[in-house]
Amino acid sequence: MRSTDHVGRNDGPSAAVIIPFYQRREGLLRRAVTSALAQDGVPSPWVIVVDDASPVSAESDLGGLSSEHRTRITVVEQENAGPGAARNTGLDRLPAGVEYVAFLDSDDEWLPGHLRRAVAALEVGFDLYFSNYRDIGQEAGGFEVRGHVQPDQHDPLQGVPDVYAFRGDLRHAILSACPIETSTVVFRRSAFADLRFRPAFRDSYEDHMFWFEMAAASPRATFSVAIGTQYGTGVNLYRGLAHDAEGRFRAAVSSTKFRAGVRSAFSLTADQREIVDRRLDRDRCAIAGHLMHRLRRRQGIPWSDLRDYLRADPRSLVQLPWAVCRQSFAWLAQRERGAEPGA
């Protein structure tokens, strides 16, 4: 691991942003960093870029920034380990005195006011902040498009426009329809000083587990309906998983790791256990369908991923055959309707 540290002092602003970097196109990181340093109403944050063996190096992509901007940036280079591990490296390199920590993916950018709203909300006494966002090709915010957050069910924060105190159990929301997007998150460092992303989740769901552990550690969460982040079109492991059957299979394995891990490590309500078990059953059907798809095409079984899956959810040794049966009946029904069975 190599570090290029341009931070000249440790008594800087109270916020830092961690950016894991792995991209194949130039200019994305520069845009993300510029959007962080241009935040209004608060001191510019420290920027910690973790170059996760990116094909385009972080140093080359930041070459066009001014010397004034470079004094706010630390670049750490490491062998490729995935976004969760890269964020852990950033968490381990936070300067002394940083009170608030933010995440920003290298192909996304913050809109003006994002960090100002977050700091104002956290200063009231909350530990976790997240915001609305705009997805690629969308005009409306993600809250409106997905419907995961209903502001009228929460309490407006006095003196901080467009910000609400989250009412209810955030853990329940994360399990049922997670409203939190990584590039919108800002949190109080002292509330989660020892929390890290779990290395077992390399491709996906590392963020869901991190948010769930945050919600379990502190119920003091707040959010803004204002759009704070614009999604970009660079390398995104989770989005990439949806484009082929292999990716969907790995996503189902990671989903099972997350939900089975929550079920075994945390005390859940009856409703939460029902949500977890229902989603685990859906993952079993997805995995059964993928295995049948491979067998029909005389392709090999992905034994390593399958072993990970069975270790995460030992119940599947009994229940996976039933999922195969259900999937077989579903495929037969599709054939009767003249449709090609899906993977």
Average pLDDT over residues 126-155: 94
- Kindly tell me if the per-residue pLDDT of 333 is higher than 70: no
Average pLDDT over residues 21-35: 94
303 and 197 in a single domain? The answer is no
> Residue 100: beta bridge partners?
15, 188
DSSP string, 177-202: H----GGG-EEEGGGGTT----TT-S
Output the pLDDT for position 277: 93
How many folded domains does the chain comprise? 2
Q: Binning pLDDT at 50, 70 and 90, where does residue 204 land?
A: confident
Residues 6+ away with beta carbon under 8 Å from 17: 36, 45, 46, 47, 48, 101, 102, 103, 104
Domain that holds residue 207: 2-238
Average pLDDT over residues 24-41: 94
Residue % of the chain over a pLDDT of 70: 85
127 and 176 in a single domain? The answer is yes
Any domain includes 341: no
Dig out the tokens for 267 from the structure.
């005390």
Q: What is the pTM of this model?
A: 0.87
326 and 214 in a single domain? The answer is no
262 and 195 in a single domain? The answer is no
The distance from CA 181 to its chain's CA centroid, rounded to whole angstroms, is 6
205 and 308 in a single domain? The answer is no
222 and 315 in a single domain? The answer is no
